[in-house]
Amino acid sequence: METLDGPRIERREERSTLGIRRRTPFRGMLAERDRMLADLIARLADHGVEPDGPFFLRLHSVDMAGEMDIEVGVFAAAPGDAVVAPGTVPAGEYAVLVYRNHSLRANRLLQEWVRDSGREFDVDSAPTGDLWAARVEAYLTDPRTEPRKTRWVTELAFLLR
């Protein structure tokens, strides 16, 4: 893993999004993300929607032994359709880390850094898994122009309490 920026805490404003949301097992989640991302990119092109920011993966609930509630989206203020829904990523203080390659290591590093700093993520436990107020992996490298995921620069941004 190559750390490019952070970890650090950053205050952010609410941002408008468009996304496709599904439940999927953790095993196979990234393949499902890739299918959802391809679908989202095609739908945006069909409707002439140009993003206001990067594409992202948002984890709404995390249950590594069960199902994950994920959203593949893009920062954009536009109407949705039958599959792509408008939404928002809330304002607040975020723990942020920018990296290239090895998502699991980057996630672990950010989570350990927040724990060691005495802060807490805005996350609650539920029978369906950990419910995150905002856990976003934004792809700063545009997947439309760079298909090799190992070269993507990714920003983790997790909302803090």
111-157 pLDDT per residue, tens:
999 999 999 999 999 998 999 999 999 999 999 999 899 999 999 99
**What was the pLDDT predicted at 1?**
84
Domain 2-159 sits in which CATH superfamily? Answer: Regulatory factor, effector binding domain (3.20.80.10)
State how far the Cα of 21 lies from the Cα of 86, in Å rounded to an integer. Answer: 11
> 102 near 148, Cβ under 8 Å?
no
Q: Is the pLDDT of residue 79 over 90?
A: no
What is the rounded distance in angstroms from the CA atom of residue 161 to the CA atom of residue 149?
31
Q: Are 119 and 9 in contact (CB under 8 A)?
A: yes
Q: What per-residue confidence (pLDDT) applies to 80?
A: 86
Q: Phi and psi of 45, rounded to 5°? A: -65, -40
Q: Is the peptide bond before 86 cis (omega within 30 degrees of 0)?
A: no
Tens digits of residue pLDDT in 33-76: 999 999 999 999 999 999 999 999 999 999 989 999 999 999 99
Q: What pLDDT is stored for residue 106 in this prediction?
A: 97
Collect all residues with Cβ–Cβ distance below 8 Å to 119 and sequence separation of at least 6.
9, 95, 160, 161
49 phi/psi in degrees, rounded to 5:
-90, 125
Confidence of residue 86 (pLDDT cuts 50, 70, 90): very high
Sole residue written with tokens 């609650």: 124
CA separation for the pair 87, 69 (Å, rounded): 15
pLDDT value of position 23: 96
Q: What are the structure tokens assigned to 83, written together?
A: 């599959």
CA distances from 117 to 4, 22, 111 (A): 20, 33, 10
pLDDT at position 7 over 90: yes
The residue to which tokens 């490019």 are assigned: 4
pTM: 0.94
Does the pLDDT of residue 93 top 90, yes or no?
Answer: yes
